[in-house]
């Protein structure tokens, strides 16, 4: 949930670290800090709040040094404050550490350090124990001290460490939290995420679990947990530096909404053979494998879970196999029935969501075949899966997920079509037409984004609603969950989604005159049923904002406002209908003066339970 950047070389480390931290601020923005090695001492600056606060604190101080580490925090242990911010120092101030993750045995370690070594802790964090542990073990060899400390730690961590008397060295360790090393010329980098380094390097090493990296200006060496040096292939990053810039958009979220036509096109067009059939690159499933699955679990969190809801509908319909969708934090603890005939599909933008990763491991342990749909190449979920299907959305920086969701949906369609065609549960004609329709979506979306002004105008009228309901049936119901999540997470409006048919079984009690109800009515075969539900809320005075397909003017007589999506087959409306909901959430949040890219209490990647 936090971001790490480190630099060792001859340029000003502080400048590079601050620049990298700004690109990682989406990972955490409760506090930030930087430490550099300067004249045999550690120079430390840290401050509660965003990177701008840290910059103000640093002011004109050049912090001249070529070696340093920095961190942007999303608080777990200890409230956001100056002292709880990273880096943390050892008692003698010779060691500085930044940490992502959680040290599970920190209470016991803290007790031991206090009672046996007389250490007085400065912060309430679990992370400080790492600095103190390394501090007590340090006798001039930083790698030694780090190995000894790590042997005493339990939990998930990516750490980076510097020592006051080692002016050209960073030691970093990874266990269950992302870590990459960037390979420069006469300089090297460490970071939790690729966007931090895009401006500087395109060649990186993906660090594996239980590996230690030792960086100097001229070398990056990786060692396993027994201190054997390991070789690693260089990974070439294809994202360009602009991908992590706002490029004139007011917010990353808006930029990413507008990037959806491109993301969808990339995700499908790279997967078509010359004869128009789908090639599932990264997936080695044979027809026999597909026929052998008697059950599919789709497991994910948040927005990715909502993509799974659509996936269930599509895969069941096309491939005629039962699909269950679950949130990862529930799946992993409920002893689910999984065996070697189960296909487990994990969906994750970051590929680092701890609950999703843990659920994946549980499914694997029970014998399931694991397929992941992931955006970040080389991420933990991708690496631990049998097959990986990348979403090709490009880096998603805004905390509120948008282009990851639509590209995840596209992957669900491709997987469903592929499986259905291989199994013979759909005809070639149906398959070809479906693919052609999917190919058309990106153009349709591009055109419909031109109506953003209408949604902006609407949001000016509706931004001060205190609660909002989202209702729909079938696929519209799945999309309504995502519309509701988007609105609540960035505008802080109390919003709630429910299958329209369920409304009358309780929730309708909350509908009052003026309550905003967003109704999704894009499914032709459910339209009349949906109209009845619209009438139910209308009769209780609700303000009805409907989402419908172009050409359906009739719905205007039942709604206060209607937002239209381009006409298309019912099955693919989620790719189009979510977009006005994303834009509505965006403009409402902007109207309410919210911090759209960095909503309160949230972080982009949830690497803790
Ligand atoms: O990286 P992941 O896709 O695994 O993240 C899962 C959720 O944390 C994420 O989708 C979250 O719900 C979004 N911020 C919502 O916009």
The answer as to whether 609 is a domain residue is no
Q: How far is the CA of 549 from the centre of ligand 1 (A)?
A: 28
Q: Where are the alpha helices (DSSP H) in 233-353?
A: 252-258, 260-269, 287-292, 302-319, 328-331
Q: How far is the CA of 300 from the centre of ligand 1 (A)?
A: 9
54: its two tokens = 């840290």
What is the per-residue pLDDT for 29? 76
State the CATH number of the domain containing residue 221: 3.60.20.10
The answer as to whether 606 is a domain residue is no
Quote the mean pLDDT of the chain: 94
| 27 has a pLDDT exceeding 90 | no
| 369 has a pLDDT exceeding 80 | yes
Confidence of residue 562 (pLDDT cuts 50, 70, 90): very high
Taking only the tens place, the pLDDT of each residue in 65-124 is: 999 999 998 877 788 899 999 999 999 999 999 999 889 999 999 999 999 999 999 999
Residues 57 and 188 in one domain: yes
329 lines ligand 1 (CB under 6 A): no
The answer as to whether 86 is a domain residue is yes
Taking only the tens place, the pLDDT of each residue in 535-556 is: 999 999 999 999 999 999 999 9
606 lines ligand 1 (CB under 6 A): yes
Residues 102 and 235 in one domain: yes
In a 3-state reduction of DSSP, which class is residue 563? Answer: strand
| 604 has a pLDDT exceeding 80 | no
User: Which of 388, 420, 447 finishes a domain?
Assistant: 447
**What is the share, in percent, of the chain residues with pLDDT greater than 70?**
99
The answer as to whether 417 is a domain residue is yes
Confidence of residue 1 (pLDDT cuts 50, 70, 90): low
What is the per-residue pLDDT for 607? 72
Residues 182 and 292 in one domain: no
Residues 420 and 548 in one domain: no
What is the per-residue pLDDT for 263? 95
- As for how many domains the chain has, the answer is 3
Is 91 in contact with 114 (CB distance < 8 Å)?
A: no
Ligand 1 pocket check: which of 349, 399, 492 to mutate, most ligand atoms within 8 Å of Cβ?
349
Q: How far is the CA of 302 from the centre of ligand 1 (A)?
A: 5
User: Which of 394, 427, 447 finishes a domain?
Assistant: 447
Confidence of residue 350 (pLDDT cuts 50, 70, 90): very high
Catalytically annotated residues: 2, 604
Taking only the tens place, the pLDDT of each residue in 209-224 is: 999 999 999 999 999 9
Residue nearest to atom 14 of ligand 1 (CA): 400
Residues 177 and 262 in one domain: no
| 605 has a pLDDT exceeding 80 | no
Residues 421 and 500 in one domain: no
Q: Which of ligand 1's atoms lies nearest the C-alpha of 486? A: 16
Q: Which residue has the tokens 């409920």?
A: 334
Residues 273 and 396 in one domain: yes
Residue nearest to atom 9 of ligand 1 (CA): 302
Residue nearest to atom 10 of ligand 1 (CA): 303
**What is the share, in percent, of the chain residues with pLDDT greater than 90?**
86
Confidence of residue 593 (pLDDT cuts 50, 70, 90): very high
- Count of CA atoms in the C-beta half-sphere (13 A) of 249: 20
State the CATH number of the domain containing residue 406: 3.40.50.10490
Q: Which of ligand 1's atoms lies nearest the C-alpha of 350? A: 1
Residues 327 and 380 in one domain: yes
Confidence of residue 126 (pLDDT cuts 50, 70, 90): very high
Taking only the tens place, the pLDDT of each residue in 309-342 is: 999 999 999 999 999 999 999 998 999 999 999 9
381 lines ligand 1 (CB under 6 A): no
| 232 has a pLDDT exceeding 80 | yes
What is the per-residue pLDDT for 79? 83
Residues 83 and 141 in one domain: yes
Taking only the tens place, the pLDDT of each residue in 504-528 is: 999 999 999 999 999 999 999 999 9
Q: How far is the CA of 604 from the centre of ligand 1 (A)?
A: 7
Confidence of residue 30 (pLDDT cuts 50, 70, 90): confident
Q: How far is the CA of 404 from the centre of ligand 1 (A)?
A: 9
CA dist., res. 101 & res. 153, Å (int): 12
User: Which of 180, 213, 240 finishes a domain?
Assistant: 240
Q: Which of 273-282, 287-296, 403-412, 464-473 has the lowest mean pLDDT?
A: 273-282
Residue nearest to atom 8 of ligand 1 (CA): 302
Confidence of residue 465 (pLDDT cuts 50, 70, 90): very high
Q: What is the mean pLDDT of residues 404-426?
A: 97
The answer as to whether 604 is a domain residue is no
Give, in order, the Cα–Cα distances in Å from 11 to each of 14, 16, 318, 431, 438.
9, 8, 56, 56, 48
Taking only the tens place, the pLDDT of each residue in 246-298 is: 888 999 999 999 999 999 999 999 899 989 999 988 788 899 999 999 999 99
Residue nearest to atom 7 of ligand 1 (CA): 302
Give, in order, the Cα–Cα distances in Å from 453 to each of 444, 456, 521, 533.
17, 5, 22, 28
CA dist., res. 388 & res. 385, Å (int): 6
Q: How far is the CA of 351 from the centre of ligand 1 (A)?
A: 10
CA dist., res. 224 & res. 231, Å (int): 10
The answer as to whether 164 is a domain residue is yes
| 28 has a pLDDT exceeding 80 | no
The answer as to whether 103 is a domain residue is yes
Taking only the tens place, the pLDDT of each residue in 131-177 is: 999 999 999 999 999 999 999 999 989 999 999 999 999 999 999 88
135: its two tokens = 């501090």
What is the per-residue pLDDT for 248? 86
Ligand 1 pocket check: which of 302, 359, 395 to mutate, most ligand atoms within 8 Å of Cβ?
302
* Structural domain containing residue 482: 452-591
Residues 442 and 384 in one domain: yes
Q: What is the mean pLDDT of residues 387-407?
A: 94
Residue nearest to atom 11 of ligand 1 (CA): 302
Confidence of residue 600 (pLDDT cuts 50, 70, 90): confident
Is 163 in contact with 8 (CB distance < 8 Å)?
A: no
Residues 434 and 521 in one domain: no
Backbone angles phi, psi at 423, to 5 degrees: -80, -15
The answer as to whether 464 is a domain residue is yes
Residues 81 and 213 in one domain: yes
């Amino acid at each position: 949930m936090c971001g790490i950047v480190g630099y060792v070389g001859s340029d000003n480390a502080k400048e590079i670290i601050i620049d990298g931290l700004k690109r990682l601020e989406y990972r955490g923005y409760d506090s930030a800090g930087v430490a550099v090695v300067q004249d045999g001492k550690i120079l430390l600056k840290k401050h509660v709040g965003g990177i701008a606060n840290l910059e103000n604190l640093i002011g004109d101080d050049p912090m001249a040094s070529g070696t340093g580490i920095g961190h942007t925090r999303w608080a777990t242990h200890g409230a956001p404050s100056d002292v709880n911010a990273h880096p943390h120092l050892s008692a003698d101030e010779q060691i500085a550490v930044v940490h992502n993750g959680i040290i599970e045995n920190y209470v016991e370690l803290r007790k031991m350090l206090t009672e046996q070594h007389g250490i007085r802790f400065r912060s309430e964090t679990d992370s400080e124990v790492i600095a103190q542990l390394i501090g007590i073990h340090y006798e001039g060899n930083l790698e030694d001290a780090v190995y000894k400390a790590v042997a005493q730690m339990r939990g998930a961590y990516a750490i980076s460490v510097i020592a006051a008397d080692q002016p050209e060295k960073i030691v970093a360790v990874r266990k269950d939290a992302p870590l990459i090393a960037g390979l420069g010329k006469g300089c090297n980098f460490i970071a939790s995420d690729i966007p931090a380094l895009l401006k500087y390097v395109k060649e990186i090493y993906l660090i594996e679990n239980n590996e230690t990296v030792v960086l100097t200006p001229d070398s990056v060496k990786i060692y396993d947990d027994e201190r054997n040096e390991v070789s690693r292939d260089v990974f070439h990053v294809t994202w360009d530096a602009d991908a992590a810039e706002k490029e004139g958009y007011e917010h990353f979220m808006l930029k990413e909404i507008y990037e959806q036509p491109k993301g969808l096109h990339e995700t499908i067009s790279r997967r078509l053979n010359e004869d128009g059939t789908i090639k599932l690159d990264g997936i080695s499933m044979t027809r026999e494998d597909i026929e052998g699955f008697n059950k599919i679990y789709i497991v994910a969190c948040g927005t990715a879970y909502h993509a799974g809801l659509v996936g269930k509908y599509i895969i069941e319909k096309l491939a005629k196999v039962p699909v269950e969708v679950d949130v990862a934090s529930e799946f992993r603890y409920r002893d689910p029935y999984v065996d070697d005939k189960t296909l487990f599909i994990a969906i994750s933008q970051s590929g680092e969501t701890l609950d999703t990763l843990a659920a994946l491991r549980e499914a694997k342990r029970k014998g399931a075949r694991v397929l992941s749909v992931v955006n970040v190449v080389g991420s933990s979920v991708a690496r631990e899966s049998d097959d990986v299907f990348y979403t090709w959305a490009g880096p998603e920086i805004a905390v509120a997920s948008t282009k990851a969701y639509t590209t995840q949906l596209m992957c669900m369609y491709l997987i469903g079509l592929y499986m259905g065609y291989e199994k013979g549960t759909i005809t070639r004609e149906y398959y070809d037409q479906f693919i052609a329709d999917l190919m058309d979506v990106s153009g349709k979306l591009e055109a419909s984004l031109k109506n953003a002004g209408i949604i902006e105008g609407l949001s000016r009228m509706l931004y001060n609603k205190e609660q909002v309901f989202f209702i729909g049936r079938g696929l519209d119901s799945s999309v309504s969950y995502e519309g509701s999540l988007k609105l609540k997470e960035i505008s802080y409006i109390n919003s709630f989604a429910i299958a329209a048919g369920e409304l009358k079984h309780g929730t309708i009690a909350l509908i009052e005159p003026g309550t905003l109800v967003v109704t999704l009515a894009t499914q032709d075969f459910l339209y009349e049923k949906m109209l009845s539900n619209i009438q139910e809320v209308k009769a209780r005075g609700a303000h009805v904002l409907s989402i419908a397909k172009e050409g359906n003017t009739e719905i205007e007589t039942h709604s206060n406002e209607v937002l239209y999506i381009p006409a298309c087959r019912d099955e693919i409306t989620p790719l189009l209908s979510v977009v006005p909901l994303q834009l509505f959430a965006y403009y409402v949040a902007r109207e309410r003066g919210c911090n759209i890219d960095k909503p309160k209490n949230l972080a982009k990647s949830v690497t803790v339970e």
